[in-house]
Amino acid sequence: MINCRVIVVIIALSQAVCLPTANVMAQGAKYSTYREAYSAGVVAVNAGNLAAAREPLEAAAKLAKTPREKMKAYEALMIPYRELQEIEPMQQAAEYVITNNDFATTRSLTRGSLLSFIHKRGKMDVAVEVYEARLKKSPDDRTVLFVLTEAYATYKKDPSRSALLAEKLGAVEKKAGIAQDIGSQAQLAQQYIKAGKLKDGAELYEKIAVLDPKLEAWHFKEAAAAWLKSGDKSKALTAAKKSEASAQPESRDALLTYFWHRGLADLFLDVGEPKLAIPHYEKAIAISKIDGYTKDSKAKLESAKAAANK
């Protein structure tokens, strides 16, 4: 969890941060260097005086001499901007980070924080309308596409629109020679499935599964589930076996490991391979710390054993 009083931030937003010119000039008169302004902002944040932190940090953004300095200033500004009712300053800061940061994880976390902030302010519908208007003017705007993809997926509950925007984002990035992020591709696969495009979702999960050994097992499991839902038991079984044989089975945390074993067990049982399901039910039971999960998995294990003995 991020401590809002520690000036290590992972979010900010604006392709062109629009601080009021007169206000910024006044701030600049108080601070002669970026370091001076930024340090004053850090002191205010660490003291819990977020209102007082805005002025020096906005001055730091103005006085920044390098892209890294400007990035740090906008990241830091996300902390006091969280206290505001209006969403524009947070948008401006977050968009700057999303646009200019090279790390996919930071970009994704920044987007998530931005949209959560907008949602809590009750302004998601308005924000989406504005982003859509911006997209009409600049159809290849990567930042707008990136933000809208998640907005439609998580908050608007429109998987078809989310998938369409994610496809567009992928095409724009490919044209620009930018390597596509596996996390974004996994999200697209998920939206395909939610939109009823099961084959597209399954095929995309299989495509990205081989690109990351740490997520290979999970993505093949998701592919198998999509194939099964589409009615193709043969492809579901093949994908489930690939998940089982992956070099690094799901191991991110105990709960995800449970869901991986339980998911594979259910898949094997549903495609008519109860003997393959049994060891995964047993491992799921051994891992589970939740009584309801344990009880349900034990019941399914008994069903698998009964089916295997027929």
Helix, strand or coil for residue 191? helix
In a domain, 300, yes or no: yes
Domain ends where: 94, 120, 140?
94
Tokens coding 180: 């596509």
In a domain, 205, yes or no: no
* Residue 20 pLDDT greater than 80, yes or no: no
pLDDT at 4: 42
Q: How far apart are CA 180 and CA 274, in angstroms?
A: 38
Contact 277, 297 (CB under 8 A): no
Contact 257, 269 (CB under 8 A): no
In a domain, 128, yes or no: no
pLDDT tens sequence across 65-113: 998 999 999 999 999 999 999 999 999 999 999 999 989 899 999 999 9
pLDDT tens sequence across 32-48: 999 999 999 999 999 99
pLDDT tens sequence across 180-235: 789 889 999 999 999 999 999 999 999 999 999 999 999 999 999 999 999 999 99
* Domain limits for position 264: 250-310
Domain ends where: 94, 126, 157?
94
Domain ends where: 94, 118, 149?
94
In a domain, 90, yes or no: yes
More confident residue, 254 or 43: 43
In a domain, 20, yes or no: yes
In a domain, 115, yes or no: no
Q: Provide the domain count of the chain.
A: 2
In a domain, 167, yes or no: no
User: Model pTM?
Assistant: 0.79
In a domain, 41, yes or no: yes
